[in-house]
Amino acid sequence: KACVPVTRAEVLFLIEASDFVGAANIELNKDFLKQSVAALDVGPQVINVAIVAYGSSAQVVTPLLDNRDALNTAIDSISVVGGDADLAAGLDQATSTLFDSVRNNAQPFIYLVASSQSTNSAQAITSADAAKSFGIIIVAQAVGSGALQDSQSVSSSDRQVAQVENYSQLPQTGSSVSDRICIVQN
């Protein structure tokens, strides 16, 4: 399947920040996000980026921004949300954040980074289906094997699922995020 790049997009990074992830791995998540922001063509007319962190609840780290410095400042503020991994809560918050502020002619994406199985996988699939019904493309990055099944279940395409063995491998994948910010065509 071909993956056609987009030039105007809203990319919301949905980052698991549960107790399972922990503070040390949050730091690796931050490194990944900074590498991703550096690799993406962030700007007012191209790609805007937002970040939502989730554990047992979800919180908006930053709404859509078009400035790398502001994004890096927001990334530095990320901490453990705590609790279990409620992917449905994260997806619902991400969808709401995107839906409220997507620009005309911009393709919205949720870029999920998760390492734990969701507390309610069935609800996560329902939440993902709702996001997709609004035209949001879901890309997933599984860390380890715990979140792989959920990542495959909620993503928009098998082509848009990636996996690394552990968090120490996550930061170096940030530079390839732009390869998965695309529209898969049969």
User: 40-75 pLDDT, tens per residue?
Assistant: 999 999 999 999 999 999 999 999 999 999 999 999
Distance between CA atoms of residues 91 and 77, nearest Å: 20
Write down the pTM of the prediction. Answer: 0.96
In 3-state terms the chain splits into helix, strand, coil percentages (rounded to 5) of 40, 30, 30
CA 26 → CA 10, 67, 80, 115, distances in Å?
Answer: 23, 22, 7, 11
| pLDDT confidence tier of residue 175, bands split at 50, 70 and 90 | confident
Helix, strand, or coil (residue 167): helix
The side-by-side arrangement of strands in the sheet containing 47-54 is 58-65, 47-54, 9-16, 107-114, 137-143, 161-164
| pLDDT confidence tier of residue 100, bands split at 50, 70 and 90 | confident
